């Protein structure tokens, strides 16, 4: 009946938003994601907000963003903190109401309880205006326009220190959805398939088993992360490596990626344990090691010029930093005082710059 693109799910229907969001990646659809979509679309249909809850790395924010992409809506993610007051929240809600965008307020229960009680009234006035199908309404004493497509979502991470319990009047405005255990094996399988691997079911099970055993058997360090975020970034990195090295087998590519992403951050006690788990999961497969002959020589030369001793440990750590920089946008060097953190990055900086100045285009000048 309507000359427009209509999206239907269960008993709800929405007009498509036509917001151009670029050719970015999409989420893997699992039973949990499906259930979350249904809850959120029903919440929007009833002129309510959506509230995914669960521990870090279970896909709360990503699911809201992906649903927005499916409906052609612009989603703005705000990381909430104790510093937010009711005035700054009012400005954000006013903007969402007038533009028709979706707002996803991450870690919403970190906001102070005094602010939340005022925020509840602000949200209520927007949701009431949406229920009444108004095009203009009075918000915080000002008459503003209201676009039908605006939506408010909050994600919560319960049980952490510094989190507040939401007031009852605020809870009643949001439909809760529990996001506890994502299906990591299925997610790994679909990502591997999308990145061009074959025999994805078996490989996904091995990767998931490696990360599960790492959580159980390795020591507990603040900088360790073997959750879903780490798993997906490993698989994306393996996909890039797959396209760069088509001559290697899938198992070899995965082993190289796992080593690149994890070896550098492991403590000396955990390293043999991690290698043992990898050897058990991929028996008889030795991944080819990269040849850093030229870089290694230059690192040793820079250490000599700095008046430092050349120890295998120091050289290995500089090369590991180089590998980490190649696979990550940014990295953090962790260690005790006087363990060589600053020396490591300064040595790599000098080595790469010297190689670039000598005419080797494979290395960049580091300022």
Asked if the structure places residue 286 within a domain, the reply is no
Same-domain check for residues 234 and 335: no
Residue 331 belongs to some domain of the structure: yes
> Number of folded domains in the chain?
3
What mean pLDDT is predicted for residues 243-252? 89
| Domain match, 34 and 154 both | yes
Whether pLDDT at 65 is above 80: yes
Bridge partners (DSSP) listed for residue 53:
156, 178
Q: Which of 237, 166, 182, 209 is nearest to 55 (CA)?
A: 182
Per-residue model confidence (pLDDT) at position 134: 92
Q: Are residues 92 and 216 in the same domain?
A: no
Please tell me whether residues 326 and 353 are part of one structural domain: yes
Given 143, 178, 213, which residue is the final one in a domain? Answer: 178
Q: State the first-to-last Cα distance of the chain, in angstroms, to the nearest integer.
A: 62
Domain presence at residue 287: no
pLDDT digits (tens, 9 = 90+) for 99-131: 999 999 998 888 888 888 899 999 999 999 999
- Whether residue 365 is contained in a domain is answered as no
Between CA 304 and CA 307 the distance in angstroms is 5
Residues 20 and 147 in one domain: yes
Domain limit, last residue, from 178, 200, 215: 178
pLDDT of 307 higher than 80? yes
What is the structure's pLDDT at 74?
93
Question: Which of 281, 311, 333 finishes a domain?
Answer: 281
> Which residues span the domain enclosing 322?
293-357
Q: Are residues 310 and 253 in the same domain?
A: no
In a domain, 269, yes or no: yes
What distance in Å separates the CA atoms of residue 98 and residue 86, rounded to the nearest whole number? 18
Task: Label residue 286 by pLDDT band (50, 70, 90).
Answer: confident
Q: What pLDDT score does 173 carry?
A: 92
In this structure, are 125 and 259 located in the same domain?
A: no
Task: List C-alpha distances in Å: 151 to 61, 62, 106, 126.
Answer: 14, 16, 14, 9
Res 193: pLDDT: 94
- Residues contacting 200, CB < 8 A, separation 6+: 189, 190, 192, 193
Asked if the model's pLDDT at residue 263 lies above 70, the reply is: yes
pLDDT attached to residue 223? 85
Do residues 79 and 42 both lie within one domain?
A: yes
Q: What per-residue confidence (pLDDT) applies to 157?
A: 82
Asked if 73 and 96 count as a contact pair (C-beta separation under 8 A), the reply is no
Nearest-angstrom CA–CA distance, 162 and 113: 11
Q: What is the pLDDT of residue 104?
A: 95
Output the average pLDDT for the chain.
Answer: 89
In sequence order, what E strands does 199-347 have? none
pLDDT at 23: 83
CA angle 14, 17, 20 (to 5 degrees): 150
Q: Could you tell me if 154 and 20 lie in one domain?
A: yes
Structure tokens at 177: 């959805």
**Is residue 354 within 8 Å of residue 298, measured between CB atoms?**
yes
Question: Rounded mean pLDDT of 68-95?
Answer: 92
Q: What is the pLDDT of residue 154?
A: 93
Q: Indicate whether 2 pLDDT > 80.
A: no
In a domain, 363, yes or no: no
Percent of the chain with pLDDT strictly greater than 70 = 98
Residues 144 and 123 in one domain: yes
In sequence order, what are the residues at sequence separation of 6 or more whose Cβ sits closer than 8 angstroms to the Cβ of residue 115?
A: 84, 85, 86, 89
How confident is the model over 18-28, as a mean pLDDT? Answer: 85
- 58 & 173 share domain: yes
CATH of the domain at 212: 1.10.8.710
| Same domain? 166 vs 21 | yes
Q: Which residue has the higher pLDDT, 3 or 130?
A: 130
Does residue 96 fall inside a structural domain? yes
Angle at 175 between CA 173 and CA 176, to 5 degrees: 125
* Burial tier of 36 (Cβ tally within 10 Å: 0-12, 13-18, 19+): buried
Contacts 24+ apart (CB under 8 A), 258-262: 258/207, 258/210, 258/234, 259/287, 260/323, 260/324, 260/326, 260/327, 261/230, 261/233, 261/234, 261/237, 261/327, 262/214
pLDDT score, position 161: 61
Q: Is the pLDDT of residue 327 over 80?
A: no
Whether the predicted pLDDT of 162 surpasses 70: no
Residue 364 lies in a domain: no
- Mean pLDDT for 257-266 is 88
Residue 124's domain is classified under what CATH number? 3.40.50.300
Identify the top-confidence range among 93-97, 228-232, 326-330: 93-97
| Predicted structure pTM score | 0.81
Question: Per-residue pLDDT for 160 more than 80?
Answer: no
Would you place residue 1 in the very low, low, confident or very high pLDDT band (cuts 50, 70, 90)? low
């Amino acid at each position: 009946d309507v000359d427009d693109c209509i999206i239907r799910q269960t008993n709800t229907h929405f007009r498509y938003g036509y917001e151009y969001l670029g050719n970015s990646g999409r989420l893997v659809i699992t039973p949990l994601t499906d259930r979350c979509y249904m809850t959120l679309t029903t919440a929007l249909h009833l002129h309510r907000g959506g509230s995914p809850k669960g521990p870090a790395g279970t896909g709360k924010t990503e699911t809201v963003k992906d649903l927005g992409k499916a409906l052609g809506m612009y989603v703005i993610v705000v990381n909430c903190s104790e510093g937010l007051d009711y005035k700054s929240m009012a400005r954000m809600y006013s903007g969402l109401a007038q533009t028709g965008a979706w707002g996803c307020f991450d870690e919403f229960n970190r906001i102070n309880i005094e602010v939340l009680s005022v925020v509840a009234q602000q949200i209520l006035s927007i949701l009431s205006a949406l229920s009444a199908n108004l095009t203009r309404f009075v918000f915080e004493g000002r008459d503003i326009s209201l676009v039908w497509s605006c939506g408010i979502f909050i994600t919560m991470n319960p049980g952490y220190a510094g989190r507040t319990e939401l007031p009852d009047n605020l809870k009643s405005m949001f439909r809760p959805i529990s996001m506890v255990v994502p299906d990591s094996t299925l997610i790994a399988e679909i990502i591997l398939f999308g990145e061009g691997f074959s025999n994805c079911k078996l490989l996904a099970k091995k990767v998931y088993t490696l990360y599960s055993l790492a959580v159980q058997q390795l020591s507990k360090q603040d900088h360790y992360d073997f959750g879903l975020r780490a798993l997906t970034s490993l698989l994306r990195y393996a996909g890039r490596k797959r396209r760069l090295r088509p001559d290697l087998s899938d198992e070899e590519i995965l082993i190289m990626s796992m080593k690149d992403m994890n070896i550098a951050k492991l403590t000396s006690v955990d390293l043999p344990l991690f290698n043992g788990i990898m050897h058990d999961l991929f028996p008889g497969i030795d991944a080819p090691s990269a040849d850093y002959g030229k870089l290694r020589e230059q690192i040793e030369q820079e250490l000599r010029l700095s008046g430092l001793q050349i120890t295998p440990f120091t050289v290995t750590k500089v090369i590991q930093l180089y590998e980490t920089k190649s696979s990550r946008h940014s990295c953090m060097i962790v260690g005790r005082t006087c363990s060589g953190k600053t020396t490591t990055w300064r040595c790599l900086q000098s080595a790469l710059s010297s190689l670039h100045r000598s005419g080797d285009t494979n290395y960049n000048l580091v300022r």
